[in-house]
A and B are shown apart, each in its own frame.
Chain A
Amino acid sequence: MNALKSFWKNIASLWSLIVGLQVTGKAFCGPQVTVHYPRQTVGPEGLEGFRGHMELVPSVKDPAIPKCISCMMCATSCPSKCLTVVKQKEPKPTEEQLKAMAEAEARGEKVKKLSAPKNPAQFIYDFSLCSFCNTCVENCPVGSIRFTTNVYFATTNKADLQMNLVERLAKQAASGKTVPGEKPKKAAKTETAQSEA
Chain B
Amino acid sequence: MTRTINPDYIRGDLYTQRFEQGKRENTLILNMGPQHPSTHGVLRVVLEMDGEYIVRAEPVLGYLHRMHEKMAEVKSYVGFMPNMGRVDYLHPLAWNWSYAGAVERLAGIEVPRRAEFLRVIATELNRISSHLLWWGAYLLDLGAFTPIMYAFEDREILMDILQRPTGARLTYSYFRLGGVGADMDERCLRQILDFVPYLRKKLPVYKDLVTDNVILRKRLEGVGDMDVDMCRRYGATGPILRGAGLASDTRLNETYSVYNEIDFDIPSFPETDAMARYMVRIREIEESLKIVEQAVAMIPEGEILIKGAPKPNWKAPAGEAYFATEGARGKVGVWVVSDGGKSPYRIKLRAPGFSNLSLFAEASQGTLLADAVAIMGSIDMVIPEIDR
- B313 CB contacts on chain A under 8 angstroms: 77, 195
A-B contact pairs, 26 of them (CB 8 A): A13-B214, A14-B214, A16-B212, A17-B213, A19-B208, A19-B209, A20-B209, A27-B150, A33-B156, A49-B163, A49-B165, A49-B166, A49-B167, A50-B163, A50-B169, A79-B78, A79-B312, A80-B82, A132-B82, A132-B168, A133-B82, A135-B78, A135-B79, A138-B181, A194-B307, A194-B308
Nearest CB in chain A to that of B166: its residue: A49
A76: Cβ under 8 A from any B Cβ:
yes
- A13 CB contacts on chain B under 8 angstroms: 214
Contacting B at CB under 8 A, from A72-94, are 76-80
- Count A-B pairs with CB separation below 8 Å: 86
Closest 9 CB pairs of A and B: A79-B79, A13-B214, A77-B312, A131-B82, A51-B167, A49-B164, A133-B82, A23-B209, A133-B173
* A57 CB, nearest partner CB in chain B, Å: 17
A162: Cβ under 8 A from any B Cβ:
no
Binary A-proximity of B201-244 (CB < 8 A = 1, otherwise 0): 00001001110111100000000000000000000000000000
Check if A17 sits within 8 Å of B164, measured CB to CB: no
Check if A20 sits within 8 Å of B213, measured CB to CB: yes
Taking A79-B76, A139-B311 as contacts, is the C-beta distance between A16 and B214 under 8 angstroms?
Answer: yes
Binary B-proximity of A136-159 (CB < 8 A = 1, otherwise 0): 001100000001000000000000
B75: Cβ under 8 A from any A Cβ:
yes
B194: Cβ under 8 A from any A Cβ:
no
- Tell me, in angstroms, the Cα distance from A145 to B75 when the chains sit together: 22
The interface size bin for chain A is 20 to 34
B339: Cβ under 8 A from any A Cβ:
no
- A14 CB contacts on chain B under 8 angstroms: 214
Chain A interface SS verdict (over half): helix
Taking A132-B168, A139-B311 as contacts, is the C-beta distance between A33 and B153 under 8 angstroms?
Answer: yes
Taking A76-B312, A195-B311 as contacts, is the C-beta distance between A17 and B214 under 8 angstroms?
Answer: yes
B254: Cβ under 8 A from any A Cβ:
no
- B311 CB contacts on chain A under 8 angstroms: 77, 139, 194-195
Check if B79 sits within 8 Å of A77, measured CB to CB: yes
A109: Cβ under 8 A from any B Cβ:
no
A134: Cβ under 8 A from any B Cβ:
yes
Contacting B at CB under 8 A, from A152-197, are 194-195
Contacting B at CB under 8 A, from A1-39, are 12-14, 16-17, 19-20, 22-24, 27, 33
A108: Cβ under 8 A from any B Cβ:
no
Check if B75 sits within 8 Å of A79, measured CB to CB: yes
B110: Cβ under 8 A from any A Cβ:
no
